[in-house]
């Protein structure tokens, strides 16, 4: 365990090092350390006889296997995590005394787990869902967890309704269908009858719900928290994670296909990026509101269904996390990590947001059952890197060997230690907010406006984004069997936008609204993905090639794509090598059997000389899908002919290199635009 003031960005890695075991080149033993002489056959009475009770090795091996599973998380079951470090750009001393936010020369180790919310552990990555973005900072003052999502608002305003929303969106209880999807009756029945959900539903129907990559999504702490400084002055704060690569999404048809072709699409992407040294980076932003301005807004800052528009309360970027290390063992680290919004450090405190207050109960409670008792803080991934001492003892799987016999406070026999620390000594002192009121089960009226911000969100969308939202409603509500629920949803979202409600009502055979809608015209450009950073870095290009390609001309193009930061991968009929007209060969990365158009960001068709039906048929498939998904398409050599044969028009994002001049440069530019929405796609 590191000394308090030696805690740095390596502390967690060093601590985990004490628990890592490399089993290779070792003799096999039982869990008691006894060397095993035979692991293929159980101990039997004769070669064809029954297994003997005395076979302790068999019993130990099977018993351990029988107990390998623990309950999956009740939500956020499917996740993927990585280690990294946090660096501070600018001291936050003015606002908070949190030590990891004081000194720009100090770095902090972090562990980040991304997740989907609704699906089981084995479900697909690219489902339409909210994504979790949970970060554990291993600070010198203890673990600080920022347990965030990739959308800035939540479905409900009060923690007491969490079991209801989760029951409604999870697979229906009578037949356990559908998996990892909100496209069913109970979810939409919940939505229509709990109208505070309108804002998050708009986000869920938007492209934000199908991120291209964990590396390309934002994170939001959602709730209003507090920063408290050394002088005891408090400011309200909201936390943001801003990905350096910008915020990017899939299209829905593509996302559904990927769910079959590569259910691990997002986790593979993160894992590969880290293995390739292309470390994902996210900047930490804060929005800060002074205490005196608590009531200065047309929404309640304690309401988790509201954002603070960035144009009104700017996001101040204060630091960055870099994820630079994959886990060694998924179960030990990713599965056993336990986050909790109540894991705070001095200088960070809570607000009275009733959703946050509910969470403060739930996380410890759920870990007790999931991780089998009260000692899960001793699991290596969860251990703080600073010392931790108290009088808590015993329980299942206790590992710490506490010396001595004093296990209570106050005491005289251990000089009243472990002793408490006051605020000056680094003890956590709750912010002394003055609160008074009657005990009451009710919500403040200031929480009652459920439609202004969904409308703000809608107003902020570009035309393609609006089109996707309409299509998402048509898909999701179209899957609902109950006609009354469908109509209730149409009526509800008429309060957001009549054009939206009319569009999907027509698609699903419901009655379009005759009148209604909101007259709010405000927009927040920061909400649109049109305005995000676009980059070609780490984008994957499928290069379709066959024997007889022009190696002398194609290899330099591939080299240019690589120099631009792209990943061209060669796809052909068979794995192995392909030979160019000059006799030079290139290694094939994937065959048509082992990959698919939807797994790439762009397609480059080169072709070859051999007129192969298999190649041409598969090229048609790759092209059609890429075109339909608005992806950049490049063609040179025989590829141009294939483009023409497949009637791919010379439309936006289609780059034809007839004379090769500037082809690579133009293609890279088309890829930098990511998707070409102004393409005529039916
Ligand atoms: Fe969670 N949430 N949540 N949640 N949540 C859990 O804790 C809960 C909420 C979030 O990668 C559970 O360890 C309640 C908002 C993430 O391990 C559980 C309420 C936000 C993760 C739980 C909320 C989140 C969880 C399930 C409403 C974004 C995954 C397993 C009052 C700010 C953490 C677990 C990981 C996980 C309860 C709402 C984010 C049951 C009661 C809002 C990222 O404790």
Average pLDDT over residues 251-279: 98
CA 327–ligand 1 middle distance (angstroms): 22
Catalytic residue among 83, 143, 149, 326: 149
By alpha-carbon position, which residue is closest to atom 7 of ligand 1?
A: 363
Distance 156 CA to ligand 1 centre (A): 13
What percentage of residues in the chain have a pLDDT greater than 70? 99
Structure token pair of residue 98: 């949190």
Please return the burial class of 173, using the count of CB atoms within 10 Å of its CB with bins 0-12, 13-18 and 19+.
Answer: exposed
User: How confident is the model over 540-577, as pLDDT tens digits?
Assistant: 999 999 999 999 999 999 999 999 999 999 999 999 99
Q: 104-153, pLDDT tens digit by residue?
A: 999 999 999 999 999 999 999 999 999 999 999 999 999 999 999 999 99
Residue 176: both structure tokens together: 């356990």
Whether residue 359 has its Cβ less than 6 Å from ligand 1: yes
Nearest CA to ligand 1 atom 9: 359
pLDDT in tens, 465-494: 999 999 999 999 999 999 999 999 999 999
Residue 650 in this model has a pLDDT that exceeds 90: no
Which of 120, 147, 169 most suits a substitution to test ligand 1, by most atoms within 8 Å of the C-beta?
147
Topology of domain 455-530 in CATH is Hemocyanin, N-terminal domain (1.20.1370)
pLDDT for 611 equals 80
- In this prediction, residue 682 carries a pLDDT of 64
What is the reported pTM?
0.97
Q: Which run of H or E residues covers position 285? A: strand 281-290
Confidence of residue 2 (pLDDT cuts 50, 70, 90): very low
ipTM entry: 0.97
Mean pLDDT across the chain: 97
How far apart are alpha carbons 630 and 654 in whole angstroms? 10
**pLDDT at 317 (0 to 100):** 98
Instruction: Specify whether 590 is catalytic.
Output: no
Q: Considering the domain 79-382, what is its CATH architecture?
A: Beta Barrel (2.40)
HSE-CB for 431 with a 13 A CA cutoff? 26
Q: Domain ranges in the chain?
A: 79-382, 455-530, 534-672
How far, in whole angstroms, is CA 253 from its chain's centroid?
Answer: 20
Query: Residue range 26-52: average pLDDT?
Result: 98
pLDDT band at 416 (very low <50, low <70, confident <90, very high): very high
H/E run at residue 487: helix 483-494
**pLDDT band at residue 609 under the 50/70/90 scheme:** confident
Q: What is the pLDDT of residue 282?
A: 99
For 437, phi then psi, to 5°, come to: 165, 175
Q: What residues are paired with 570 via a beta bridge?
A: 543
CATH class assigned to 534-672: alpha beta
Residue with the smallest CA separation from ligand 1 atom 3 is 359
Count Cα atoms within 13 angstroms, Cβ side, for 637. Answer: 23
Output the pLDDT for position 264: 98
Q: Is the CB of 162 under 6 A from ligand 1?
A: yes
- For residue 659, the model assigns a pLDDT of 87
Instruction: Say yes or no: do domains 79-382 and 534-672 share a fold.
Output: no
Cα–Cα nearest to 202, from 516, 486, 468: 468
In this model, does residue 680 exceed pLDDT 80? no
pLDDT (0 to 100) of residue 1:
45
Q: How far is the CA of 534 from the centre of ligand 1 (A)?
A: 30
Secondary structure (DSSP) of 115-166: EESSS-TTS-TTSSS-EEEEEEEEETTEEEEEEEESSSS-S-SSGGGHHHHH
**For residue 553, how far is the Cα from the chain centroid?**
40
φ, ψ for residue 530 (rounded to 5)? -60, -30
pLDDT band at 649 (very low <50, low <70, confident <90, very high): confident
Instruction: Judge if the beta carbon of residue 226 lies within 6 A of ligand 1.
Output: no
146 lines ligand 1 (CB under 6 A): no
Q: What is the pLDDT of residue 670?
A: 98
Token pair listed for 178: 């559908």
Calculate how far, in angstroms, residue 353's C-alpha sits from the geometric centre of ligand 1.
15
100: pLDDT strictly greater than 90 = yes
pLDDT, position 681: 77
What's the mean pLDDT in 42-55?
A: 97
**Per-residue pLDDT at 26 exceeds 80:** yes
Question: CA-based diameter of the chain, in Å?
Answer: 91
DSSP 332: I
Ligand 1 atom nearest residue 337's Cα: 17
For the chain, the C-alpha Rg in angstroms (whole number) is 28
With a 6 Å cutoff on the Cβ, whether 366 touches ligand 1 is: yes
Q: What average pLDDT does the segment 172-189 reach?
A: 98
Q: Give 75 Cα–ligand 1 centroid separation in angstroms.
A: 7
Residue 490 to residue 510: CA distance in whole angstroms: 8
Q: What is the mean pLDDT of residues 641-650?
A: 90
> How many angstroms does the Cα of residue 140 sit away from the middle of ligand 1?
25
Question: Is 430 one of the catalytic residues?
Answer: no
In the three-class reduction of DSSP (H, G, I as helix; E, B as strand; rest coil), residue 20 is classed as coil
């Amino acid at each position: 365990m590191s000394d308090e003031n030696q805690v740095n960005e390596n502390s967690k890695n060093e601590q985990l090092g004490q628990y890592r075991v490399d089993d290779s080149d070792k003799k096999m033993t039982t869990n008691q350390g006894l060397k095993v002489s035979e692991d293929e056959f159980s101990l039997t009475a004769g070669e064809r006889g029954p297994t003997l009770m005395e076979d302790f090795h068999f019993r130990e091996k099977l018993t351990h296997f029988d107990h390998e599973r623990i309950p999956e998380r009740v939500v956020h079951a499917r996740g993927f995590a990585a280690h990294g470090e946090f660096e501070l750009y600018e001291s936050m001393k003015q606002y908070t005394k949190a030590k990891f936010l004081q000194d720009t020369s100090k770095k902090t180790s972090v562990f980040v787990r991304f997740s989907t919310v609704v699906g089981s552990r084995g479900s697909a990555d690219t489902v339409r869902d909210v994504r979790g973005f949970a970060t554990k900072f291993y600070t010198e003052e203890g673990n600080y967890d920022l347990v965030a999502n990739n959308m800035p608002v939540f479905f409900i305003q009060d923690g007491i309704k969490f079991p209801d929303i989760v029951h409604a969106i999870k697979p229906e209880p009578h037949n356990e269908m559908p998996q990892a999807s909100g496209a069913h009756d109970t979810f939409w029945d919940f939505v229509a009858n709990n109208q505070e959900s309108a804002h998050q539903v708009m986000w869920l129907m938007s492209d934000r719900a199908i991120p291209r990559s964990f590396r390309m999504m934002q994170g939001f702490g959602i709730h209003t928290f507090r920063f408290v400084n050394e002088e005891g002055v408090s400011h309200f704060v909201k936390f943001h994670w801003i990905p350096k690569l910008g915020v990017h999404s899939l299209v829905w048809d593509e996302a559904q296909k990927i769910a079959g072709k590569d259910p691990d699409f997002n986790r593979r992407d993160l894992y590969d990026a880290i293995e390739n040294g292309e470390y994902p980076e996210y900047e930490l932003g804060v929005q800060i509101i002074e205490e005196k301005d608590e009531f200065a807004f047309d929404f309640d800052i304690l309401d988790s269904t509201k954002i603070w528009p960035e144009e009104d309360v700017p996001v101040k970027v204060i630091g960055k996390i870099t994820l630079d290390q994959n886990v060694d063992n998924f179960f030990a680290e990713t599965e056993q990590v336990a986050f909790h919004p109540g894991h705070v450090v001095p200088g960070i405190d809570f607000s009275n947001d009733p959703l946050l207050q509910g969470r403060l109960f739930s996380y410890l409670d759920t870990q007790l059952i999931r991780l089998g008792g009260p000692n899960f803080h001793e699991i290596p991934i969860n251990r703080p890197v600073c010392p931790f001492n108290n009088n808590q003892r015993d329980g299942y799987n206790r590992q710490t060997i506490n010396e001595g016999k004093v296990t209570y406070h106050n005491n005289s026999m251990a000089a009243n230690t472990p002793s408490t620390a006051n605020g000056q000594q680094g003890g956590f002192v709750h912010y002394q907010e003055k609160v008074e009121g009657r005990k009451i089960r009710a919500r403040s009226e200031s929480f009652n406006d459920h439609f202004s911000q969904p409308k703000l969100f809608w107003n902020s969308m570009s035309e393609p984004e609006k089109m996707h939202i309409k299509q998402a409603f048509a898909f999701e509500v179209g899957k609902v069997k109950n006609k009354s629920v469908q109509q209730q949803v149409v009526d509800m979202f008429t309060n957001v936008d009549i054009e939206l409600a009319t569009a999907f009502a027509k698609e699903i055979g419901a009655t379009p609204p005759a009148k209604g809608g909101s007259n709010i015209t405000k927009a927040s450009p920061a909400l649109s993905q049109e305005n995000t950073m676009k980059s070609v870095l780490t984008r994957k290009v499928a290069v379709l090639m066959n024997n007889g390609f022009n190696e002398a001309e194609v290899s330099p193009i591939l080299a240019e794509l690589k120099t631009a930061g792209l990943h061209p991968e060669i796809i052909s009929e068979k794995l192995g090598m392909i030979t160019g007209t000059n006799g030079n060969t290139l290694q094939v990365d994937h065959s048509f059997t082992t990959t698919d158009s939807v797994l790439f960001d762009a397609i480059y068709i080169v072709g070859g000389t051999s007129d192969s039906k298999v190649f041409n048929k598969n090229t048609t498939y790759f092209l059609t899908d890429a075109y339909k998904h608005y992806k950049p398409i490049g063609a040179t050599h025989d590829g141009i002919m294939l483009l023409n044969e497949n009637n791919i028009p010379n439309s936006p994002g289609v780059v034809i290199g007839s004379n090769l001049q500037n082809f690579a440069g133009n293609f890279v530019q088309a890829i930098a635009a990511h998707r070409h929405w102004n393409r005529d796609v039916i």
